[in-house]
Structure 1
Amino acid sequence: MELHRGRLFDHVHLRVRDLEASKKFYRAVLESLGVPFGGEFPGAFWADEFYVSADAPPTEKMHLAFQAPDKDTVHRFHAAAVAAGGRDNGGPGERHYHPGYYAAFVLDPDGNNIEAVFHGPAKRSAASVVVSF
């Protein structure tokens, strides 16, 4: 197990109603994003900092966004998630959040809003250059 420092979250724990349905959904989602499945034991599974269990009432109304390296990955995410039991909640496309924001949304088996987002190519302008002394 690798310990990461400097990230905002140590882990995210999602509770689900049907572990097998969620495992099928999240395996497909993670695979489409190039994230390896971490492992499982009775009642739970994980990948990197993402932990899923069926040990309490399910998490509701969560919005979870995964980073995607490009637009093609956003498309693969959406197709894989829908094929694995997710419900479309906004197909791949540009969003108004900022220029270059390209995302897709799917509801997981418990109705949580799961997103894959590509923030576009890095653009540097005089206003965005960081100067350190």
Structure 2
Amino acid sequence: MEVQQLHRGRLIDHVQLAVEDLPACLRFYQAVLDALEIPMGGTASDYFWADELFVSTTESKAAQGTATGRHHLAFQAKSRQMVDAFHKAGLVAGGRDNGAPGERPYHPGYYAAFLLDPAGNNIEAVYHGPARRSAGSVEITF
């Protein structure tokens, strides 16, 4: 039996992507989520999920027959090496490069890579650099 935890108080409760080619997306997301050490929550013939990301076919009841448009999702990585592994794994699993791993100007220490998933979504892995942590949050000085 699949068990999913409910996390109250988050800004985003969940994200659903409805895609045309579920097997291609499953290969891609399994690879990049493995690289980021994020376990797959569950799979079925018309969907899969991990944490608060739900990806389904357009025929799935939840999708109502329509593919979602292009979205940008960013996953947090624990290190620069994890960002690099995300990018490499995603390319091998059918993703397309949309920004090689490297520093970005968003704030000091912002290290990220971008891939287009098989459905055309812009998927990012980001490491924010070392920071002081307190009770589940991170302080970043701009």
Give the TM-score normalised by structure 2: 0.84
Superposition RMSD in Å: 1.6
| Partner residue in 2 for 1:114 | 123
Choose the corresponding residue for 1:12, options 15, 25, 40.
15
- Structure 1: gaps (5+ residues): none
CA contact (8 A) 1:108 1:114 kept: yes
Q: Which has the higher strand share?
A: 2
Matched, 1:102 2:111: yes
Choose the corresponding residue for 1:59, options 61, 68, 72.
68
TM alignment of 1:1-133, pairs within 5 A: 1-55=4-58, 56-122=65-131
Summarize deviations over 1:75-111 as a string: whole Å, max 9, x none. Answer: 0000000000000011100001111100000000011
Of the two, which has the highest radius of gyration?
1
Shift of 1:6: 1.9
- Structure 2: gaps (5+ residues): 59-64, 134-138
Same amino acid, percent of matched pairs: 60
Alpha-carbon distance in structure 2 between the residues aligned to 1:104 and 1:65? 10
| Moved beyond 3 Å, runs of 4+ | none
Aligned amino acid, residue 15 of structure 1: A
Shift of 1:57: 2.7
Alpha-carbon distance in structure 1 between the residues aligned to 2:91 and 2:108? 26
Shift of 1:10: 1.1
